[in-house]
Amino acid sequence: MAQHLQREIEQLKKKILSLGASVEGSVRKAVSSVQQRDTALAERVIAGDVEIDQLEVDLEEDCLKILALHQPVAIDLRFIVAVLKINNDLERIGDLATNISERAVFLASRQQITTPYDLSAIAEKAQVMVRRSLDSLVNLDASLARDVCRMDDDVDALNREAFERAKNAIQRHPEQVDILIAYLSVSRYLERIADHATNIAEDVIYMTEGVIARHRAESPGLTSPGDMSA
């Protein structure tokens, strides 16, 4: 029975990593579709969301089946609970990649303007966070997960700067309001992707250490159990 449970857990690992790779690819393509005004690429991301949704449903069913049949405890239970949560965050990142791609289609149909903020900076940070959160999952690396949590403040700051720059640009060029709001939406979606990457990192910390990093007095996930005062 124990060996059977471990085999099923190994299958879960493979499936969550496969989903993660698909989602990471969707984000990368979505960002490229905005930067390159590539509607065909954007449409491929939008069409691919159906597959990501199905992978998420299948993974959830697998987790629930294992919980019902094996009633795992301790580290195995923590792992399955974490996979359920990470699964949901990955599906949401896939949805946000679709939202970015929809904005890419809109922007490609409008006048090309200079982006009022550094889109590449916030896009790069968000993508690095997704990639590192998945690396922390692959390697069960709580230290790397904490690095991801720290990066979230940088993305928040970039998003606030994007809002201010877009607001100022709208005041100077009211005729471009629809285009500027679309670019601002892309920034907001990237910020939310970073939030979900942070959630994944926090779940890796929970999985490896049994520490719930959310809603802590400190910045999330920055303090390891050994650093906490008694």
**Distance, CA of 85 to CA of 19 (rounded, Å):** 13
Res 198: pLDDT: 97
What domains does the chain contain, in order, with CATH numbers?
2-224 (1.20.58.220)
Q: Which two tokens stand for residue 116?
A: 């009022």
State the helix-helix crossing angle for 177-209 and 142-172, rounded to 10 degrees.
Answer: 170
Closest-CA residue to 42 (of 109, 110, 97, 95): 97
Using alpha carbons, list the distances in angstroms from residue 1 to 8, 66, 71: 11, 12, 11
Q: pTM of the predicted model, to two decimals?
A: 0.88
Q: Given this model, what pLDDT does residue 223 score?
A: 47
* Per-residue confidence in pLDDT tens, the chain, 230 aa: 678 888 898 899 899 989 999 999 999 999 999 999 999 999 999 999 999 999 999 999 999 999 998 888 888 888 899 899 999 999 999 999 999 999 999 999 999 998 888 889 999 999 999 999 989 988 889 999 999 999 999 999 999 999 999 999 999 999 999 999 999 999 999 999 999 999 999 999 988 887 776 655 444 445 444 443 32
- The pLDDT of residue 220: 45
Contact 114, 166 (CB under 8 A): no
Looking at residue 208, what is its pLDDT?
A: 86
> What's the confidence (pLDDT) of residue 187?
95
Residue pair 64/72 in contact by the 8 Å Cβ criterion: no
pLDDT (0 to 100) of residue 229:
34
